[in-house]
Amino acid sequence: MFAPRRDNEGLPMTNIVEPDASPVVPPLAVPPLAVPPLVVPTLVVHCQDCAFWLSFGKEAGSCRRFAPPPSQHVDDTGFWPETLAVNSCGEGIVKTDPGVPGTVSCGDCAYWHRQNPDQGVIPLRRTDLPADWWRAAGFCTRHAPRAEYQSQWRTVTRAHWRATHVTDHCGEGARRVASPPGEEPG
């Protein structure tokens, strides 16, 4: 006769009954779905081919894709980063595509605001730009201020919209709608 198996403490162990193995299922007779390979269109546009690029010559220009964001400093002006013609990004639009929006000049933009149209912007602390530039300037209000980290909890950050020139332009502008005759612009 055989003796029952015992664990480390000398107690009898119960036999564990293993379940029967599952029967082998034959492979499906239906072929798997035909999934086409993932096709990713070219999303990168070279600056020289982009509708938002303002060329300064054959090799360089500035990216006018976005409107300038608000600043924490009074008298900040909008500026657009300089890029090379061979640079590229994923937010450009090929200028030869049909229906390309392009850019809208600040003077024609619904987001461009001038507090005093006769005087333009009167700078409080800047003298680096000529007075004629400031007379033809207004504020780009396209973007709302964003929350930012403050090193001191009692510091209050004030938003200041950046001044741009009437001839500046960007890809986020919205063309101002002309008012009907006899009505004040909204």
pLDDT one-digit tens code per residue, 38-83: 544 557 889 999 999 999 988 999 999 999 999 888 889 998 999 9
When mean pLDDT is compared over 98-102, 138-142, 154-158, the highest value belongs to: 138-142
Q: Residue 153 pLDDT > 90, yes or no?
A: no
Mean pLDDT computed over 17-28: 59
Q: Say which residue, 3 or 147, is predicted with more confidence.
A: 147
Q: CB under 8 Å, gap of 24 or more: what pairs does 61-64 form?
A: 61/85, 63/89, 64/103, 64/169, 64/170, 64/171
Q: Residue 12 pLDDT > 80, yes or no?
A: no
3-state secondary structure string, 142-166?
CCCCCCCCCCCCCCCCCCECCEEEC
Mean pLDDT computed over 13-18: 60
Mean pLDDT computed over 113-128: 87
Q: Could you tell me the two tokens for 8?
A: 């480390």
Q: Could you tell me the two tokens for 26?
A: 């034959």
pLDDT of residue 40: 47
* Residue 70 and residue 139 in contact, taking contact as beta carbons nearer than 8 Å: no
* Residue 79 and residue 168 in contact, taking contact as beta carbons nearer than 8 Å: no
pLDDT of residue 127: 82
State the Cα–Cα distance between residues 76 and 156, nearest whole angstrom.
18
